[in-house]
Amino acid sequence: MKITNIRTSILKAPLKNPFITSLRRVDSLEDLVLIVECDDGSVGYGEGAPTPVITGETMGSMIAAIEYIKPFILGLEIEDFNTILNNIHTRILKNTTAKSALEIALYDLKAKSSKQPLYKLLGGTQTKFRTDITISMGEIEKMISDSLDAVKLGYDTLKIKIGDNPQKDVERIIAIHDALDENITLRLDANQGWTAKESVTLLHALEKQDIIAEFIEQPVSADDIDGLKYIKERVQTPLLADESIFSVKDARRLLEMQAIDYVNIKLAKTAGITQAIELADVSKEFGVKCMIGCMLEGPISVAAGVHVASAKADVITMLDLDAVSLLASHPVNTSIVFNESEIILSENVGLGVTF
């Protein structure tokens, strides 16, 4: 299977509701899709969401990165997989989402060449998963209403977006907690909106109300490593790092410092599947569990995340892969079942998606 062409397309789809965090507001999906073609007619699909406030990439920069990498890949055989990966990751630095989209398409092709689903190629066996759903930041009554609606749809784990106003954040969480049954799990995500001292104060206020979330995600800025350790040493609520971890090196540093409880893996940050798997392995080495998340992506990228979750199910015990459920329409054909909180992988070869 020789790579003969790499094309790009734009995937657009409206969201059911605006996606609002302390960092951004998104009203509709607009992702880059990669289509990698081989001489035997095989096609691999990849996807990436431009997220300038997190990865620094725009749609234009992603397309430019792909065009730059393209000459170093065309003409290579998919069987020479390691050479292809090396060219992706050494010919240009950073550009993690663009690289991830390309890696996803290549892994799709590699699994198709071996005539098996990607999760099996990666050594996975699990096919059924449950994901949380994101409750966007907003006024308290709206967040309560959205939370109750999510529970009615079958979600038992809600990820609450906060981080724009510390005092209001506490009020939001208490109000949502009190409106829900005890069997509903809350995850909190401040998206770098608090300082370390604010984080401790706010989490103590919640803990005094017997509200201990499954975790607090990235409460401080991505580069505030000491802040993460400061928080972890002072609260009961487990601490999950997201924007602070792009690479295995980032994770190892935090884990060696004992600065976090959990690791959030996102393909758009790890530059694809290869390092995501390495990140899970490093986390396992330290006895730390992982969550796999997404960047408000469509079915192609989310499917890749689920396949990785299967491959590393012993370490990746939490899923935040709700992006497909947030879409008002599904512009991609998939054999994977996205049924609100439940995701089921298929036996179709590759990713199980077509475009």
Q: Is the pLDDT of residue 355 over 90?
A: no
Q: Residue 251: what pLDDT?
A: 98
> Is the same domain home to 135 and 178?
yes
Indicate whether 43 and 104 sit together in one domain. yes
One domain, residues 299 and 189: yes
Q: Catalytic: 232?
A: no
What is the amino acid identity at position 206?
L
Query: How much is the average pLDDT of 4-31?
Result: 95
Q: What CATH number is given to the structural domain containing 258?
A: 3.20.20.120
Per-residue pLDDT, averaged over 52-62, amounts to 97
Q: Are residues 57 and 88 in the same domain?
A: yes
- CATH number (domain holding residue 12): 3.30.390.10
Catalytic residue among 99, 110, 232, 266: 266
Our count of domains for the chain comes to 2
Looking at 115, 139, 162, the residue that finishes a domain is 115
Instruction: Indicate the residue among 115, 147, 167 that finishes a domain.
Output: 115
Together in a domain, 97 and 131: no
* Across 210-224, average pLDDT: 98
pLDDT-based confidence at residue 353 (cuts at 50, 70, 90): very high
CA distance 224 to 219: 10
Note the pLDDT tens digit of each residue in 61-93. 999 999 999 999 999 999 999 999 999 999 999
Note whether 293 and 268 are same-domain residues: yes
84, 115, 146 — which closes off a domain?
Answer: 115
Residue range(s) defining the domain that contains residue 194: 120-354
- Kindly indicate the confidence band of residue 354, based on its pLDDT and cuts at 50, 70 and 90: confident
Over range 100-107, report the average pLDDT.
98
Same domain, residue pair 109 and 141? no
* 127 in the same domain as 74: no
249 is catalytic: no
User: Of the residues 99, 112, 161, 312, which is catalytic?
Assistant: 161
Same domain membership, residue 134 and residue 94: no
Q: What is the pLDDT of residues 159-196, one digit of tens each?
A: 999 999 999 999 999 999 999 999 999 999 999 999 99
Q: Which long-range contacts (CB under 8 A, 24 or more apart) does 182-185 make?
A: 183/156, 184/151, 184/156, 184/157, 184/158, 185/132, 185/156, 185/157, 185/158, 185/213, 185/214
Mean pLDDT computed over 318-324? 97
204 and 226 within one domain: yes
The Cα 307–Cα 32 span in angstroms is 20
Residue 104 has pLDDT above 90, yes or no: yes
From the number of C-beta atoms within 10 Å of its C-beta (0-12, 13-18, 19+), residue 141 rates as: exposed
Which of 242, 232, 318, 316 lies closest to 282 in space, CA to CA?
316
Q: Are residues 313 and 226 in the same domain?
A: yes
For residues 226 and 109, membership in a common domain is answered with: no
Residue 331 has pLDDT above 90, yes or no: no
Q: Kindly report the pTM of this predicted structure.
A: 0.97
